[in-house]
Amino acid sequence: MSKGEIVLGCLAPHPPHLVYAENPPQNEAFSEGGWETLRWGYAKLARKLKTIDYDAIVIFTPHWQTYIGTHFLGLPEFKSKSVDPVFPNLFRYNYDLKVDVELAEAMHEETAKAGIITKMMRNPDFRVDYGTITSCHLLNPSWDKPIVTISSNRNSHYYSNEVMIEQAKALGEACMKAIEKSGKKVVLVSSHSLSHRHFVTEAPLPEDMSREHIYNHSQYVWDMKIIDMFRNGQMKEVVDIMPEYTEQTIAETEAGGLIWMMAAMGVPSYPAEIYGYQSVIGTGNCIACWDPNNETRELVL
């Protein structure tokens, strides 16, 4: 068996507004559109994914929060309705998804070997979070690949951003070992926004784009700084400034997803592909990917 590999790493924000704006048949709410810059960027990245040969999507989500250890989905199928607790008016999504349990178990095993507390989620009634569903739907609307979802252990809250970084690095390296041993080709997804201060009142029509803008200028400047570093292949530097960036912009990087993905990918020094940046209820959202293949990596935006 040949060595498994990561064929792509995606930064895939998950405001449920984006699924709402698409009006897929799985979602019960109806919209008149909105947030096109992000949705069109996602559509372009989804087309790239269709050209890549891969076996599974492995996604790290901040909205499955676990306080004791890191958990992995551990049954072959999860089917239910996922309702966003904050935006039930926008997101009531009927899902039926397949899990690569073999890969999830291999990651669980390597994670335990690295000394991290970890558990498989075997409850058939477990409701999959909207972060997983939104990012996976927008990257692969046909849902024709199995997924592995990884929970976010709340290290930043229990300890500090620095502890979160150490744990996320160890988790990323453990997942990489499992992928290599599995012989599979895997797409990694780090599901989150960048800056995360947001409005606390909703416009009468949520998709009214005349009401959408970044929450404040300083978090916009921080986001642009980070995205510039993505473009320039400075991921080591991004990891270094992550505690300060996260604190200054209350970024959703606090859950550890980006560090996990970068550690698994050996902290890339090549440029990221950028597919778009837009605010959703004032938060900063960037769609980006890291393509380890020199021949297919593009300058997108």
Region of 66-74, 98-106, 151-159, 279-287 interacting with ligand 2X7 (CB under 6 A)? 279-287
Cα-based angle 131, 136, 138 (whole degrees, multiple of 5)? 100
Rounded Cα gap, residues 291 and 273, in angstroms: 8
Rounded Cα gap, residues 235 and 253, in angstroms: 14
The least distance separating ligand 2X7 from the CB of residue 7, rounded to whole angstroms, comes to: 26
Q: Phi, psi at residue 230, to the nearest 5°?
A: -55, -50
Q: Which is nearer to ligand 2X7, 161 or 193 (CB)?
A: 193
Residue 15 binding ligand 2X7, by CB under 6 A? yes
Residue 279 binding ligand 2X7, by CB under 6 A? no
Residue 133 binding ligand 2X7, by CB under 6 A? no
Rounded Cα gap, residues 266 and 22, in angstroms: 34
Amino acid at 137: H
Q: Which two tokens stand for residue 88?
A: 């039930």
The least distance separating ligand 2X7 from the CB of residue 87, rounded to whole angstroms, comes to: 7
Residue 281 binding ligand 2X7, by CB under 6 A? yes
Task: Pick the binder of ligand 2X7 from 11, 280, 287, 288 (CB under 6 A).
Answer: 280
Q: Which is nearer to ligand 2X7, 108 or 220 (CB)?
A: 220
Q: Which residues contact 99 (CB under 8 A, 6 or more apart)?
A: 73, 74, 75, 76, 77, 78, 146, 147, 148, 149
Q: Which is nearer to ligand 2X7, 153 or 283 (CB)?
A: 283
The runs of H, that is alpha helices, within the chain are 16-22, 36-50, 101-113, 130-139, 155-158, 161-182, 217-231, 235-249, 257-264
Task: Pick the binder of ligand 2X7 from 8, 72, 283, 286 (CB under 6 A).
Answer: 283
Q: Which two tokens stand for residue 92?
A: 């009531």
Q: How many residues lie near ligand 2X7 (CB under 6 A)?
A: 9
Site residues for ligand 2X7, 54-93, by CB under 6 A, read: none
Rounded Cα gap, residues 67 and 151, in angstroms: 10
Q: Which is nearer to ligand 2X7, 232 or 248 (CB)?
A: 248
Region of 11-19, 138-146, 159-167, 214-222 interacting with ligand 2X7 (CB under 6 A)? 11-19
Site string for ligand 2X7, 178-217 (x = CB under 6 A): ---------------x----x-------------------
Positions touching ligand 2X7 (CB under 6 A) are 14-16, 193, 198, 252, 280-281, 283
